[in-house]
Amino acid sequence: MPRGRLSTAAATRCGGPDPPRGQGFAVEPAATAPPQARWPRPLDPTVRARGLGHVCPTWVPATVERMGRLSEITFLLPAKPDSGRFLGELRALLAEVAYADFAGSAGTDDLVGERLTLTPPRPVGARPLTTFRLADVPAPELVLDTGRSISLRGGDAPPDARPSPAVVEMADLSRRLTGHVKRVDHTGVNLPTRVTSREAWDNLVGALASVSTMYRYPTGEEWPFVLPSTSDELLAGIHDFVVGREPRFELVHDEGLTQTEWQFALWTDLTRAELELLFPEPEGFTFPGLEEIFRAVPIRHPWPGLGIRFDLCYRIEDGPSDWETGEWLVREGGRIR
């Protein structure tokens, strides 16, 4: 499981004690700050370390403004009619999700700007938002509002590559699940290990962890999750376990893929048996070890080089579970810093 790179605030000591819990240096973004500003920025000009002959910066309480914060994750689609149809079907699929909001293009023929936004209902002010938007882009792309993006990647298929038997159309998925989708557990992107190097993966995880509350998957797989959090939680970590801290965002370093895959996990009110009837093989399938949790349904779409998969979670009879509240990820996985 990748631990990610320690942030400057967590890793740096300068001849003195560690900062109080939840505090650290304020760090400018490396991409935009001048060289002299990329180092920890002291509140006072200097302080001479007791018993040492060098000068080091003082500890400064970190703030969200100084750290940066991931506020929005956007799945961009080319502003073309087929993308508009996909977004419309997604809107219909999530019609009963209380925190899903659709904004159209004011009756014009210009599709740019149409968007579907998912806002975490709890806790109040939690971020990031998750949006789906039509834009002037040549191909689907995932964009983080902190300045990073994840475009499509592909490579030669390994001998044990996972097949992508997508036979279900988006419109058919929406029709079959009408009225049965109540919440969105998480969205995510799976990156093939063959074209995403270890260094690139670690850099991505580290960059994302530095601007969000990101937690390891407790059983050791490379499946880190970003949990929506308030500005206070970004600094101090998550300690309040509530249902509604969703959608989360998952990154996966996937050995079985040959191309980038977007995944969307939905809470349904259907049992495993009902979903097996709705999506029998080869339309739907399960992953080893996760058979009792969800049924995966890949869908057909017009964008080459991309897989899109919906993971349909079974109805939970007794809840909320420590997965729904995030407690399992927080306590057992631990935060990546």
What's the average model confidence in pLDDT over 113-130?
95
Give the rounded distance of the alpha carbon of 203 from its chain centre.
15
- According to DSSP, the residues that pair with 201 across neighbouring strands are none
Q: What is the pLDDT of residue 155?
A: 53
- Kindly report the average pLDDT of the chain as a whole number: 81
Alpha helices in 28-177 (DSSP H): 64-67, 81-93, 170-176
> Model confidence at 319, in pLDDT bands (50, 70, 90)?
confident
pLDDT band at 108 (very low <50, low <70, confident <90, very high): very low
Which amino acid appears at position 186 of this protein?
A: H
Across 296-302, average pLDDT:
96
> What's the maximum distance between 2 C-alpha atoms anywhere in the chain?
74
Gap between the Cα atoms of 122 and 127, Å rounded: 10
The side-by-side arrangement of strands in the sheet containing 72-78 is 100-103, 115-118, 129-135, 72-78, 141-144, 149-150
Q: What are 165-196's pLDDT values in tens digits?
A: 799 999 999 999 999 999 999 999 999 999 99
Task: Dump the DSSP string for 273-326.
Answer: HHHHHHS-TTT-B--TT-TTTEEEEEEE-S-TTEEEEEEEEPPPSS---TTTTS
Q: Is residue 50 pLDDT above 50, yes or no?
A: no
* Separation CA 150–CA 153 (nearest Å): 9
- Per DSSP, the three-state class of 181 is strand
The model's pTM is 0.78
| Extended strands (E) in 69-122 | 72-78, 100-103, 115-118
Q: Is the pLDDT assigned to residue 219 strictly greater than 80? A: yes
> Is pLDDT above 80 for 56?
no
Write down the pLDDT at residue 96.
Answer: 96
> What value does the mean pLDDT take over residues 144-149?
94
